[in-house]
Chain A
Amino acid sequence: MRDASTCQPAAIAGPSISPPASARPERRQARAGAVLIAPALVLMLLILILPVIVAAVLSFTDYTLGRSGLGWVGLENYADIFTRSSYRKMIAATVLYVAVTVPVSVGLGLGAALLIRAVRVGADLYRTVYFLPVMASLLAMAIVWEFALHPSLGLVNRTLEQGCGTGLELWPWYARGCAEGFPLWLSDRDYALWTLAFIGIWQSFGFNMVLYLAGLTSVPRDLYAAAEMDGVRSGWARFRLITWPMLGPTTVFVVTISTIRSFQVFDTVEALTHGGPAKSTYVMIYAIYEKGIAQNLVGMGAAITVLFLGFVMAISVAQRRFVERKVHYA
């Protein structure tokens, strides 16, 4: 009767003795929860975390695909990135590209969204037209741009030539173009990155516009009425007092997305310039592709990838900080 003797006191003591730990509902639920999240956790580790770790490990080696072994090179790859001029140019080109495209495409996106909100008719047409480049394949569009920007046959330079002999020649840059020929947009190192930045802006501002349009719909109309009652007369004062602060969360999101997308620019570089001329458009993703895949220098490619991840991570962290501190008011 051992069972009875162990059972008896528990039954008499009632609530003062708790049931065995494993039977408590919290424990059971925790165990079920762990089982349920396990597949997602495993997948995340395999698909997202593990490749990053592998890339990080490879970045300290001279591994190339097909070779059986790998040699540890320590920080040599990273040292190269920060000392060799081609990698310094890579960082400079990437940062310049991001620094130009992000503010301009965010500014244009916001401006277009505000204008579309203001027009009575045709808002849908404008919205569609501005959004078209976002939906189009950038690679296909790049080919169109290549034709348009062709130095002698392209639409751009031939249009510019039509202006020669007019008042436009008072502009020294224009006069020089008429005399010596207009720029080789994609093969002049002073112009190539700016041209790519222009295409990047053309392609992405419609996306920002759509995000801002969504953000604008969530600004309560009453606030504008209240501002009017409070004596806010000019559109600029209204923008400063209401629209801009209320779009804070949207702006943080738009800037983050635009920055990450600009860091990732690849299609136009691959299609139009191949990183040249003189490495002036040698942006990071293109460098990763060229080193890691085209030249099979996987270790070097991995090192650039890790640096790239570092940039993107820094932006995401900055965004989180900013979001928590400044732009949410509730």
Chain B
Amino acid sequence: MATLELRDIRKSFGGTEVLRGVSLDIADGEFLSLVGPSGCGKSTLLRILAGLESQTSGSVHIGPDCVDGQRAADRDLSMVFQSYALYPHLTVAENIAVPLTMRRLRARDRLPLVGPLMPGAGARRADIACTVREAAETLGIAHLLGRKPGQLSGGQRQRVALGRALVRDPAAFLLDEPLSNLDAKMRVHMRAEIAQLNRRLGATFVYVTHDQAEAMTMSDRIAVMTDGELLQVGTPDSLYDDPADIRVARFIGSPAINLLPVETGSGGAILLAGRDSGLRSGPLPVAHIGIRPEALIPCDGPGLIAGRVTMIENLGSDLFVQLRAEGLAETVTLRLPSEARGKVAPGDLMHLRARPGRARGFDSMGQAAPLRAEVTTDA
């Protein structure tokens, strides 16, 4: 168990800089997700943390020690790969045992034929077999120990990969998109299981994913990356409610946040499609306002937005309604409770207002620009 610290990590491949000074502190026992669109450098960052790749500049610390120049095998970290990277010719038991045989057995104990005859090797091997069985039981794969990876389903392989990672009690676990090869149902199941594992082991987890839903459901904190930079690091709630950057707002949340272009008039009045929205900007001029689909509510009179319903997505528990708003190029998405089923139809005209305190402003550079306390437009 240990803290992890990345200080101003930069990485260039040839002339292209894929990481531009990333600094991140990860607390002991924390579940931190690195999310971002593909190609944003999150996997590279994880591999630098693991020691599989070296940074161009910056330093990596595990616990109190700087581990720069230390190879991956010596860093005492475990990693789960997207492809699982199981050894296909070894059984599940042998796969899980590899980290232990490589660390606990001496080179001469591992020799074929004569290895088992070395003094003490038998006892060490028995000890390893026992640890492997415990790890397998933790993950519910004890009945599969004799099989080869080729005979397992995706979910089972995933568990074997996890078993190989946790059998050795490492300083931290690094997981590189471990669920992306599973089907949707298995993914939901495994993400709960991995989050539970984190709590039970009390170990530090660094989890790389491009799926914001995984990050939201599992993490203590999320670090959002784009183009080799960290945009924001925070709890799932803070990222969802108070994104510091318009790209974070866009990335987090499904369906996506409604981002509407606005103009800031005299006195800070925010004009949406030329009309006073009732929102007032703070010290910074506002170029966009972001409102989550559930923060919009229908109202009778003219509200913030008026538009015609173009599409209704019925999820059973919720209803997502898309509107083409007057004077706006963007479609607006609105979430309604299931009771609204049958009460809206495509073509209906709807007036919407924002729940108080739920609209967020962004300046022309995409940075958060706080709004002043709102004046309600509609009583």
Interface residues of A (CB under 8 A from B): 220, 222-223, 225-234, 237, 241-242, 245-246, 248, 329-330
Contacts and interface: CB of A to CB of B under 8 A. Distances in A.
A186 B205 CA distance: 68
B73 A232 contact: yes
A222 B103 CA distance: 20
20 contacts: A222-B85, A223-B87, A226-B81, A226-B85, A226-B164, A227-B98, A230-B73, A230-B98, A230-B164, A231-B102, A232-B73, A232-B102, A233-B71, A233-B73, A241-B87, A245-B87, A248-B89, A329-B88, A329-B148, A330-B150
A237 B71 CA distance: 16
B72 interface: yes
B169 to A, nearest CB: 13
B87 A242 contact: yes
A220 B52 contact: no
A220 B85 contact: yes
B78 interface: yes
B99 interface: yes
A230 B89 contact: no
Kindly state the interface size class of chain B when it binds its partner. 20 to 34
Interface in B146-171: 148-150, 164
B276 to A, nearest CB: 57
Given A222-B81, A329-B149, A229 B72 contact: yes
A227 B52 CA distance: 11
Contacts of A227: 98
Most chain A CB inside 10 Å of its own CB: which residue of B72, B77, B78, B86? B72
Contact of B102 (A223, A230, A242): A230
A228 B52 contact: yes
Contact of A330 (B71, B79, B88): B88
B102 A222 contact: no
B272 interface: no
The 3 closest A-B pairs by CB, nearest first: A226-B85, A329-B88, A330-B150
Given A222-B81, A233-B102, 20 more contacts: A223-B85, A223-B87, A225-B47, A225-B52, A225-B72, A226-B85, A226-B87, A226-B164, A228-B51, A228-B73, A229-B77, A230-B102, A230-B164, A231-B103, A234-B107, A237-B102, A237-B107, A245-B88, A246-B89, A330-B88
Contacts of B78: 229
Given A230-B102, A231-B99, A233-B73, A225 B88 contact: no
Contacts of B149: 329
Nearest to A231: B102
Interface string B81-94: 11101111100000
Nearest to B103: A231
Interface string B32-74: 0000000000000001001110000000000000000001110
Contacts of B107: 234, 237
Contacts of A230: 73, 98-99, 102, 164
A100 to B, nearest CB: 25
Max chain B Cβ within 10 angstroms of own Cβ: one of A231, A232, A329: A231
Given A231-B102, A329-B149, A225 B79 contact: yes
Contacts of B77: 229
Contacts of A248: 89
B150 A329 contact: yes
A241 to B, nearest CB: 7
Given A237-B102, A245-B89, A329-B148, A229 B50 contact: yes
Contacts of B102: 230-233, 237
Contacts of A241: 87, 98
Which of A225, A226, A232, A241 has the most chain B CB atoms inside 10 A of its CB?
A: A226
A229 B72 CA distance: 6
Contacts of B87: 223, 226, 241-242, 245
Nearest to A329: B88
Contact of B83 (A220, A228, A231, A242): A220
A188 to B, nearest CB: 40
Contacts of B150: 329-330
A228 B81 CA distance: 13
Contacts of B88: 245-246, 329-330
B165 to A, nearest CB: 8
A45 B24 CA distance: 72
Nearest to A328: B150
Interface string B111-127: 00000000000000000
B104 to A, nearest CB: 9
A248 B89 CA distance: 10
A226 B148 CA distance: 17
B79 A226 contact: yes
A242 B51 CA distance: 20
A277 to B, nearest CB: 42
A241 B103 CA distance: 14
A321 B110 CA distance: 28
A296 B299 CA distance: 106
A228 B72 contact: yes
B208 to A, nearest CB: 14
A56 B262 CA distance: 92
A246 B89 CA distance: 8
A123 to B, nearest CB: 19
B83 A222 contact: yes
A246 B87 CA distance: 9
Nearest to B111: A240
A231 B106 CA distance: 12
Nearest to A242: B87
